[in-house]
Structure 1
Amino acid sequence: MKINIIMVMIFLCGGMVTLNAKEYNASLFGIKSNGTTLNTTSIQRAIDFIHEQGGGTLRFYVGRYLTGTLVMKENVHIQLEEGAILVGSTNIYDYNIDVPNCALIYANGANNVTIKGKGVIDGQGREVAYNLLAQIQSGVLKDPLDYDRPRNRRPKAIYMRSCENVRIHGITIRNSADWVQVYDQCVNTVVDSITVDSKAFWNNDGIDIVDCRNFKLLNSFIDASDDAICLKSHDAAKICEDVEIRNCTARSSANGIKFGTVSAGGYKNIRIINNKVYDTFRSALTIATPDGGLVEDIVVDSLSAFNTGNPFYLRIGARWNKGRTGSINNILIQNVKVEVAKDKPDSGYSYEGPIEDNPRNTSPSSIVGLKDAPIRNVTFRNIEITYPGGANPNYAYRGTSKAELDSIPEMEAAYPEFSQFKELPAWGFYIRHAENIHFDRVVLKLKEKEYRPMLVFDDVNGYSLSQVKQSGAKGKKELVAVDSKKIKPRADSIIR
């Protein structure tokens, strides 16, 4: 008798679980998978209906589902099965172009939302952007145009703002017309095991993490024509905090992993662990704060970068800071191996990085603060960087006398890129306006002879060198230090 009661209870509980799962097939709402029927209204009705029922999952099976902007609602989950493709309309008027940050999938204040599965979101970004451009050129829409490219109204693939408990898992995102995915002031977000393949148009960041808290980007592959993995801070009253980027691979015609450029509030407690960067035109890692934001407590561990234009660029600027001075403090970069390309590392990709502003000779890693705002407490530990060398002083000379170093402009208001100063006087590291910079077990390799020294420290108040080695072809001199003070490394001055 007891066994029968237990079996009945198990059956009833199982039935309750099935009933509460609330899964809805897309076809239930008249959504067509033929790739030609515009489904915006029917998919939106499905999302609204599921939200009104208290939540559930909208499931898409094999097919092409053409749609414009979809607005996600609380407790709604989208499951894209293998072979299911959400296809963005090429008609710009099928998107919410009258709101900032228009997108194919849009959410504002929607908690507990999920997009998951083995399916695809295809923004058809190049066609969308060209059709938008045609509307601007015909005078129907107004836009300032940058290099004959639309500045506004290009839809992102995903934009979510002020959402909590967001989960993006397993999907592939292709061909966005703008930044691929933006998570803006979101809390408790996990983006896991996704693929981004978005080289269809310019200004095409792979993922933007903006003023988020408790954010994880895990196990993902991101290939983008602009910065691949990008942390931003748009609000001076907010901060990007408690972020983990782990086990990801990034490729970019700009930067691999970047803090900024917009950095109004700042970044705190960021962990970037076990990642790879390749074929990247600019820096493998850029940490920049030109807009008054703070940057502190950053750990980069186990980064591998090859065929990249530049290893590291740390920069404080004064661009849109509105009287506030930014800061960079307490940075640990360790267990890193980088190989810098001799030739253009993103050559052959659809949208290559522009070469017209680049220096003639390969740039070193750089740490560049301001006179009144030095970059503080940075440790490089267990680092190996291979540079191509072969700089030619006959067409692009930069010397190391005090007068020559002083002639390098501050450029505090310029857009922060490793190439902004043109020719720099070192081939390995150039450090200016900094305090407490520590090198521990750092090996810098040269493939061809260099006329420049390996290290140039200019206005560095406290630096230590422990087991720093140069190998391969030789530079002119290992270290040039001007207005800089060497100190002994202390256990409490190096982040562990």
Structure 2
Amino acid sequence: MKILPCLFILSVFFSNAEAQNKSFNIVDFGAKAGLQFSNSKAIQQTINVAAKAGGRVFFPSGQFVTGPIEMKSNVTLYLSEGAELLGSTNRLDYGKNDAKALISAKAQHNIAITGKGTINGRGAEVVKNLLLCLHQGLLEDETWRIKRPSENNRPRLIAFSNCEDITVKNVTLKNSAGWVQDFVNCNRLNIDRVTVESTAYWNNDGIDIVNSKNVNITNCNIDAADDGICLKSEGSPGICENVSVSNCTIRSSASGFKLGTGSYGGFKNIKVRNITVYNTYRSAIALEAVDGGFIDNVDIEGVTAKYTGNAIFIRLGHRNKTSQYSSIKNVRIAKVKADIPDAKPDAGYPLEGPLPKVPPHNLLPASITGIPGHLVEDIVLEDIEITYGGGASEKTANIPVDQLDNVVENEAGYPEFTMFGELPAWGFYIRHAKGISFKNIKLNYKTTDFRPAVIFDDVTSINLDNLQVEKGENPHQVILKKTEKVSIKNIKLPLNDKESVKVLQ
């Protein structure tokens, strides 16, 4: 398999408002520090004046409350150290239908948010006020009585659409009522050294990149009550293309780095380097195409996952109602070291991931799964070490190796690593795939597990080179069912006898 090189996205591409010299202090336009003042008009006026001249909107040290504000071309919001921009806690300030984001921009260019200050959406207080408005009949929402207020009713912190040449740098982003950063149909986006601390409410994705291209995300530290960094393809659909992520640390009540769930268009030329995922409920790496879109040319290298629910989850499904099927091909994941505990890895955080609505199951393996007739293709896994907590018991659940057809397909299910319920392997489970390469893979567990380490079911063109399984109680550690073109060399299994690799028809 040939992985095409991803395009490098360099900050030199950006000639944004950060480089402009003219500065406009919001205090000079009537803004006042203090929780009792609302500064929406003063801040917006400052932005409008700065847009005409091209320059910087300066926030001095202090707390400044505002409702929604709109960015304009050739403007930088600069929050000095000690400056805190606080979102209004009155939900009605964000409009009645489809809550406006605290900071928005539409079809603008050369815009930036920089400085060492903080933007705090005060999401918990906003949602509390939203619930009051819903009880009083001042707002409407279809889901709030059943689950929670919908995402459209909860203001995001930053929402830019159809914009070009964007920089978000050095700032701290806190406590959004919805997605923290949402970039839709944007081009040339640079996010660098941003800290996200957003566990105030559900659906607090740290960074969402939707149908955007030429994106560079570097040196960020993210703690989110939903996915950490998530690429989506939604709406009209477009694709996410030429996206680079590097040197980021992520904690999440969902997944660390994810492509999907929204996958109507596709994802192409995605590069990830040197990320750490910790205390994260779902997967460190999740690649999901379930709505008819594609994933092509993904190169991930250097992942440390500590106390995370799952290491690698790759899923091709068919959730959309049309005849268009998704595809996943040309993926390389290398230099991964993961620790998967026999415990809930995000326990104790303000908002934990929800317990799965599936029957009791044992600790789940990494997985690569397509659906019958639609295969995940050309996946290279190399230099990967995963240590599981173990603790599996046949009394909890058991799918014997002669009953592998009992694993549910769940073609239209929401893609997450628990979607199949119990799985019959503890290390890797691969089904409906073609062109799978394992090179220098080491699997281990700490206590006990009665299942085989690795299962291939309906897979062709398998290359196993230096697979090491450190422990194993099952006499069959590698199961090959309905497989063709299998190459095995330098394999190290606990029993090292002929039965350790079992072939099923």
More displaced, 231-240 or 165-174? 231-240
Matched letter for residue 371 of structure 1: P
Q: Is the partner of 1:435 in helix, strand or coil?
A: strand
Partner of 1:287: 287
* Structure 2: unaligned runs, 5 residues or longer: 1-18, 490-505
Distance 2:95 2:218 in 1: 30
Partner of 1:449: 448
Q: Are the equivalent residues in 2 in contact too, given 1:292–1:321 (CA < 8 A)? A: no
Partner of 1:392: 393
- 1:210-267 Cα distance to aligned partner (Å, 9 max, x none): 1110001100000001111111111454100000000000001111111111111010
- 1:86-119 Cα distance to aligned partner (Å, 9 max, x none): 00000011114534x6210011111100000100
Partner of 1:466: 465
Partner of 1:16: none
Q: Is the partner of 1:21 in helix, strand or coil?
A: coil
Distance 2:361 2:21 in 1: 61
Partner of 1:375: 376
Partner of 1:179: 179
- 1:107-157 Cα distance to aligned partner (Å, 9 max, x none): 111110000010000000011011111111222211012544110320000
Partner of 2:430: 431
Distance 2:315 2:203 in 1: 21
Matched letter for residue 468 of structure 2: K
Q: Are the equivalent residues in 1 in contact too, given 2:192–2:220 (CA < 8 A)? A: yes
* Number of residue pairs aligned between Structure 1 and Structure 2: 468
Q: Are the equivalent residues in 1 in contact too, given 2:356–2:418 (CA < 8 A)? A: no
* Structure 1: unaligned runs, 5 residues or longer: 1-18, 491-496
Structure 1 residue 476 displacement after superposition: 4.3
Matched letter for residue 283 of structure 1: S
Distance 2:487 2:154 in 1: 53
Distance 1:21 1:331 in 2: 44
Q: Are the equivalent residues in 2 in contact too, given 1:431–1:456 (CA < 8 A)? A: yes
Structure 1 residue 322 displacement after superposition: 2.4
- Change in Cα spacing, 1:467 to 1:237, as seen in structure 2 (3 Å) is same
Structure 1 residue 449 displacement after superposition: 2.1
Q: CA RMSD in A?
A: 1.6
Partner of 1:102: 100
Mapped pair 1:197 → 2:177: no
Q: 1:128 aligns with which of 126, 129, 132?
A: 126
Distance 1:30 1:344 in 2: 50
- Change in Cα spacing, 1:285 to 1:97, as seen in structure 2 (3 Å) is farther
Partner of 1:188: 188
> In the TM superposition, what are the counterparts of 1:73-112 in structure 2 within 5 Å?
73-99=72-98, 102-112=100-110
Q: Are the equivalent residues in 2 in contact too, given 1:399–1:425 (CA < 8 A)? A: yes
- Change in Cα spacing, 1:363 to 1:476, as seen in structure 2 (3 Å) is farther
Q: Is the partner of 2:179 in helix, strand or coil?
A: coil
Q: Are the equivalent residues in 1 in contact too, given 2:455–2:478 (CA < 8 A)? A: yes
Q: Is the partner of 1:129 in helix, strand or coil?
A: helix
Partner of 2:243: 243
Matched letter for residue 293 of structure 1: G
Q: Are the equivalent residues in 2 in contact too, given 1:265–1:294 (CA < 8 A)? A: yes
Structure 1 residue 486 displacement after superposition: 3.8
Partner of 2:301: 301
Matched letter for residue 431 of structure 1: I
Structure 1 residue 474 displacement after superposition: 4.0
- 1:50-102 Cα distance to aligned partner (Å, 9 max, x none): 1123x110111110010000010111111000100000000011114534x62
- 1:257-284 Cα distance to aligned partner (Å, 9 max, x none): 1111111101000001000000001111
Distance 2:268 2:430 in 1: 23
Structure 1 residue 409 displacement after superposition: 1.9
Matched letter for residue 103 of structure 1: A
Matched letter for residue 433 of structure 1: H
**Over alpha carbons, which structure has the higher Rg?**
1
- 1:163-217 Cα distance to aligned partner (Å, 9 max, x none): 0000000000000000111011110000000000000001111110111100011
Distance 1:33 1:413 in 2: 51
> In the TM superposition, what are the counterparts of 1:359-374 in structure 2 within 5 Å?
359-374=360-375
Partner of 2:67: 68
Mapped pair 1:272 → 2:268: no
Q: Are the equivalent residues in 2 in contact too, given 1:216–1:245 (CA < 8 A)? A: yes
- Change in Cα spacing, 1:136 to 1:20, as seen in structure 2 (3 Å) is closer
Q: Are the equivalent residues in 1 in contact too, given 2:20–2:56 (CA < 8 A)? A: no
Partner of 2:11: none
Distance 1:345 1:416 in 2: 19
Matched letter for residue 319 of structure 1: R
Distance 1:254 1:65 in 2: 32
- Change in Cα spacing, 1:47 to 1:81, as seen in structure 2 (3 Å) is same
Q: Is the partner of 1:336 in helix, strand or coil?
A: strand
Distance 1:172 1:232 in 2: 23
Distance 2:20 2:480 in 1: 68
Structure 1 residue 421 displacement after superposition: 0.6
Q: Are the equivalent residues in 2 in contact too, given 1:438–1:489 (CA < 8 A)? A: no
Structure 1 residue 399 displacement after superposition: 1.3
Matched letter for residue 478 of structure 2: L
Q: Are the equivalent residues in 2 in contact too, given 1:450–1:476 (CA < 8 A)? A: no
Distance 1:237 1:83 in 2: 41
Q: Are the equivalent residues in 1 in contact too, given 2:369–2:433 (CA < 8 A)? A: yes
Partner of 2:13: none
Q: Are the equivalent residues in 2 in contact too, given 1:447–1:473 (CA < 8 A)? A: no
- Change in Cα spacing, 1:188 to 1:489, as seen in structure 2 (3 Å) is farther
TM-score, normalising length: structure 1: 0.92
Structure 1 residue 320 displacement after superposition: 2.1
Q: Are the equivalent residues in 2 in contact too, given 1:451–1:476 (CA < 8 A)? A: no
Matched letter for residue 201 of structure 2: F
Distance 1:472 1:372 in 2: 34
Q: Is the partner of 1:35 in helix, strand or coil?
A: coil
More displaced, 429-438 or 391-400? 391-400
Q: Are the equivalent residues in 2 in contact too, given 1:290–1:321 (CA < 8 A)? A: no
Q: Are the equivalent residues in 2 in contact too, given 1:448–1:473 (CA < 8 A)? A: no
Percent of aligned pairs sharing the same letter = 41
